[in-house]
Chains A and B, each alone.
Chain A
């Protein structure tokens, strides 16, 4: 008896993403010995933890039909702010980390309020936020990079290992799981989908569109700040010039993961796959021996094209 694999049309995009990931991962495993080892796998997750966390926040924003161009800058700002808190102002770790997170939330909330109350385009508002965050980060210290090596209470965080998962990797995994939960099992998450699906209908249905919108951008700011902290842990330093244009990578990961830029459709699981795909592509040049990043960029552009066209075709088929 033959059983046909039937994929629901709405899952087609996710299926394609998963297929691409498996393909890439499979080819890499065959080509580079040790690629699929446990150590390499945890390293893959750890290296992409900042991007991953930012992509989580970005997913919520894009699902609601908006966009956030400031996440890269907030990551940089958060990392240098954390470094400054610990090294220059000598704040204890349990105080420094929440401070940085609150900073991220404030940034995001400000963006959300501007977007919602003043009806300003998210593109411009978050662009301004990006300039602002990057500027503050660069102004904050004389040296753009501040090392946190040898810090008594911070080092344990850096050295922490659980089954070869360091803290950033763990937090990323936990973050994804939580995000999947929020997106699927909370009213807030469902409201995000509704607003992205049709803001007008959401309003008519009595959903709290205003409040949810501001919360979405606050969440994005929080995730970016978290990403900055993870970066600081991973590199044992704060760096004001890091994560340039990382928001584009985050957007790419989200789009490749199957979320429509117009909002309303997508999944956190897809974003996870998107981040991993980006991670594999980024690390290939290292394995190939040349450290050029150009291959990565072209590959990302090509993947974006494929998935966008795929989404467009699916949309057309749906509308007819």
Chain B
């Protein structure tokens, strides 16, 4: 598919530049070796830390493709952490049922958003804003505003720290999720339906597509992925931190999707692009942390400024391209 490859050029190039820059600063950057039964190295670390954003951006890609947005994924992450902490520590539930219930709850949260948008016809920004605000409140309610450590549950800690198939579990999960999503949208007709519904819902409806069901599905998936991300985060810090889990992460996810080539107005989406976008955002943060100019490290605050510039540049690029299409092949008004 030439168009997809073409669209991936810029993000890939940007990522390559970032990685190379890192390699210049840190000669060991690209080195990978085997230790403690799994692959280790800077690259692996970056990937490991990028998994929450990556998971979020998978769901966010599909939501944005339907011309919507999901602002609540950060809050759902916090909820997932809190729910699992409460179940494990207060109720003494074993790990597997805990995970199951937490994921079900996250799914339900996503479905809640989906119902508001598809059945009640509420604008996605507003609909997901509700859960964004209330969800974090619920997460804090469950943990009483405290950070609840999750100790003595090696099964749970496995998520954030363990190894599976010679890779950190987090990366394996992220890969599996990405694969699952890719298969779901490309090997069924879902991808076509989502793109069609996002691009022109009226025409899609006239062609017999169930646009409502499509919208409900994407928000539900987004919620599910947010739940997984929340579990990974909680396992990583072996605690439930309702105040900070997922904070601002929804914005990073939206950025990742936009960098990856999917337009906020919906339609064609690029999962691979979003994954690359998530990696770019993560690498950007790491790079800034590691960079030293004249022996002084750049304060982490510059991360935000750089992010801002990236957003604007990406937007302008997309906008110029759009304008070119419009002037090059103008359709009669």
Contacts and interface: CB of A to CB of B under 8 A. Distances in A.
Interface stretch (B14-22, B218-226, B308-316): B308-316
B232 to A, nearest CB: 23
Contact of A135 (B134, B141, B303, B316): B303
A301 B126 contact: no
A89 interface: no
Contacts of B133: 248, 252, 297, 300-301, 304
Contact of A300 (B134, B299, B304): B134
Interface residues of B, number: 47
Nearest to A316: B121
B319 A132 contact: no
A131 B305 contact: yes
A114 B312 contact: yes
A139 B130 contact: no
A294 to B, nearest CB: 3
B86 interface: no
B151 interface: no
Given A138-B304, A309-B120, A312-B122, A301 B135 contact: yes
Nearest to B251: A127
Interface string A287-317: 0000011111111111011001100100000
B129 interface: yes
Contacts of A127: 251, 254-255, 311
B56 to A, nearest CB: 15
A135 B308 contact: yes
A136 interface: yes
Given A294-B138, A297-B136, A305 B69 contact: no
B242 to A, nearest CB: 8
Contacts of B120: 309, 312
A125 interface: yes
Nearest to B140: A294
A294 B264 contact: no
A118 B312 CA distance: 11
Contacts of A130: 308
A218 interface: no
A76 to B, nearest CB: 11
Contacts of A131: 304-305, 307-308, 311
Contacts of B319: 118-120
A261 interface: yes
Interface in B276-333: 299, 301-309, 311-312, 315-316, 319, 322-323
A129 B308 contact: yes
A311 to B, nearest CB: 9
Contacts of B134: 297-298, 300-302, 304-305
A149 B319 CA distance: 47
A266 B126 CA distance: 16
Contact of A296 (B137, B139, B264): B137
Contacts of B129: 248, 251-252, 304
A292 B254 CA distance: 30
B131 interface: yes
B50 interface: no
A317 to B, nearest CB: 13
Given A261-B123, A297-B134, A128 B311 contact: yes
Interface of B: 69, 120-123, 125-127, 129-141, 144-145, 242, 251, 254-255, 258, 264-265, 299, 301-309, 311-312, 315-316, 319, 322-323
Given A297-B133, A302-B134, 12 more contacts: A127-B255, A128-B311, A128-B315, A130-B308, A131-B308, A261-B125, A294-B139, A295-B137, A298-B134, A301-B134, A304-B134, A305-B130
Interface of A: 67, 114, 118-121, 123-125, 127-132, 134-136, 138-139, 248, 251-252, 255, 261-262, 292-302, 304-305, 308-309, 312
